[in-house]
Every structure is written in C-alpha cells, then in structure tokens.
Amino acid sequence: MPADTATLDRRGFLKLSAGGATTLALLGAGVQLSGCSQRSAAVANGYRWLTASDIHFMRALVAGVAGNALPADPTAAGAIVDEGVRRADIELAALGAPAQQEVRKLLDLLQWTPFRRFAGGVTRPWAEAGAADAQTLLKHLHDSHLSLLSGAYRALAKIGSTVLWSQTPMNAFSHYPGPPAWAISALEA
C-alpha cells in the first residue's frame, strides 16, 4: 500500500507522540536543572502568593487580556492593571495546594527564557514586556497542537479575564450595569 504523506499512520502517530513526550520531559528537566524554579523565591512584599517575577508577568497578562478595553488614560489603565494583579494574587492564594503547585509550575516555565522564546514567541523578559507580548504568548499557546500548551492558554486566559472583568471600572466597557440593587442590599444585611 503506498504511503500517503498527508495522513498520519499508526507508526507515525506513535513516533510523533514519543517525540512530543520526550520534548516535554526535556523541557521539564531543563527547567529544574537550570535553577529557574521559583519555589525558593519569596513572596513579593505586600502580596500573598505572587513573587516579584510573577508580578511582572501578571501585569503583562492583564493588559494583554484587556487589549483595547483599557482606558486611554495611562493612570486609569495602570490602576486597572494593578488591581488585576492584586486580584490575581488573592485568587491564586485561595486555590488549594495541588492547583497552586500546577500554577507555580506554569509561572516558572513562563519565566524560563527558552520556553518563553520558542514556545511563547516572546523575546523580552516579562519585566520589559507589555500587553502585545502577552497577546503573542496567548496566541502561541492557543494555536498549539499540544494539549498541555492549550491547557496553559485556558488557565491564563481564565485568570486574566476573571481579574479584569470583575472590576467595577470595566463594567461600562462590557455593558454590564453591575449587580442588581436588591442583591447588594441582601449581601449588606
């Protein structure tokens, strides 16, 4: 039977799977061996869970998820991004230990320069990166055929969206009038 190069046969699928598993294992080993793990990094001053490196990434992530939704005024936009980082810290600190460990692994991997460059398409460190860099990372993760990377996209998009759109200043842009008065009064009672 002639081999069709457009389709993947069983042997090719097994080779591709083994290659993908090997690549991910090497990436994980590289992260551990390069010493980029943040486990020993202290929590940033004034935060519950995020490290200083995480804060740089979260600023870029929140701004990237917001896109054109941020106000044109840099002070107002900065306040929304900073509030988003604060909310991300609270949200991540409230996770259970297993979920925190997985998020920590993801954030550590995003700090690792080879991964950030080759899998995420971001050449600058997160301390110098902006919204466009975070959007590039999210696009690369979203478009990946590896379920691990597309899962990372979903986690990051969920974190970024939750901390951004839960802020009152974003209500007008999202056309959300806010919670009904009766719900607020019930909570205050």
Check residues 38 and 112 and name the one with the higher pLDDT.
112
Region 26-33: mean pLDDT is 65
In a domain, 3, yes or no: no
Question: What distance in Å separates the CA atoms of residue 88 and residue 160, rounded to the nearest whole number?
Answer: 8
In a domain, 24, yes or no: no
In a domain, 56, yes or no: yes
Is residue 34 very low, low, confident or very high in pLDDT (cuts 50, 70, 90)?
low
Query: Which pLDDT tens digit goes with each residue over 166-185?
Result: 888 888 777 777 778 888 78
Please report where in the chains the tokens 């009064």 appear, as a residue: 185
Q: Is residue 1 over pLDDT 70?
A: no
Q: Is residue 140 over pLDDT 80?
A: yes
Query: Which pLDDT tens digit goes with each residue over 60-118?
Result: 999 999 999 999 999 999 999 999 999 999 999 999 999 999 999 999 999 999 999 99
Region 25-40: mean pLDDT is 60
Q: Which residues contact 120 (CB under 8 A, 6 or more apart)?
A: 110, 136, 137, 140, 141
Please report where in the chains the tokens 């902006």 appear, as a residue: 130
Q: How many CA atoms lie within 13 A of 77 on its CB side?
A: 17
In a domain, 16, yes or no: no
In a domain, 178, yes or no: no
In a domain, 181, yes or no: no
In a domain, 123, yes or no: yes
* CB of 108 closer than 8 Å to CB of 31: yes
Phi and psi (nearest 5°) for 130?
-135, -165
Q: What is the pLDDT at residue 38?
A: 47
Which among 105, 108, 104, 57 is positioned nearest to 85, based on CA atoms?
57
Burial 143-169 (b: 16+ CB within 10 A, else e): ebeeeebeebbeebbebbeebbbebee
Range of the domain at 102: 43-171
Joined tokens for residue 28: 């994980």
Region 133-154: mean pLDDT is 94
Q: What is the pLDDT at residue 95?
A: 94
In a domain, 37, yes or no: no
* CB of 136 closer than 8 Å to CB of 72: no
Percentage of the chain modeled with pLDDT above 70 = 88
- Mean predicted lDDT score pLDDT of the chain: 87
Instruction: Report pTM.
Output: 0.75
Q: What is the pLDDT at residue 136?
A: 97
Q: Is residue 54 over pLDDT 50?
A: yes
Q: Is residue 51 over pLDDT 90?
A: yes
Q: How many domains does the chain have?
A: 1
